[in-house]
Amino acid sequence: MTIDRQSLTDFYARETLRAPENAVGFLLWRVMHRYQRAIDRALAPLDLTHLQFTTLAMVGWLCRKEEPTTQVELARHADIHVMQVSLMLKALEKKGLVARLPSSSDTRAKRVAITSAGLEALKVAMPLAIEIQQRMFGAAGEPGGALLTELRDVERRAE
């Protein structure tokens, strides 16, 4: 049994924000997917996806410290499910961009390290990602920009 259009019209007039474009979550979802598609297109010649690039960048960032980085730390830092991180690391390892090594302190954990090939890939990929960010978000998306500042505030409130 289908619903009549008037019931739908009444529902959307009373119980919602009246249009998908008035919902922050919907707009964030659309913008994020457009951003991901742009990154995917730019990184395709490097044989990297947006998620692989993000994972590789996070591995590189976390490997700057002295103690070894683990898959669990990476998942926590990037707010990505541990299984998703594992799949991304397997793909990156297969491409020679990261190495996963057994942890000396925990036999269940794996240490993650970026390889020289991984750093070289980042040197090419990072400027492409930054250019897309600048093109899509302009000055508002730069460090200290209004959009970036507001998104950080939203993230803090969501914790």
CATH number at residue 95: 1.10.10.10
Contact predicate 56/118, CB 8 Å = yes
List Cβ neighbours of 35 (8 Å cut-off, separation of 6 or more): 50, 132, 133, 136
pLDDT recorded at residue 146: 93
pTM, to two decimals: 0.85
DSSP string for residues in 82-94: HHHHHHHHHHHHH
Per the structure, the count of domains in the chain is 1
Grouping H, G, I as helix, E, B as strand and the rest as coil, residue 48 is: coil
10-residue mean pLDDT profile of the chain (159 residues): values are 85 79 89 96 97 95 85 90 93 96 77 95 97 94 91 89
User: Quick one: which H or E segment has residue 102?
Assistant: strand 98-102
* Alpha-carbon span 70 to 62, nearest angstrom: 9
pLDDT recorded at residue 4: 87
Domain extent for 75: 5-158
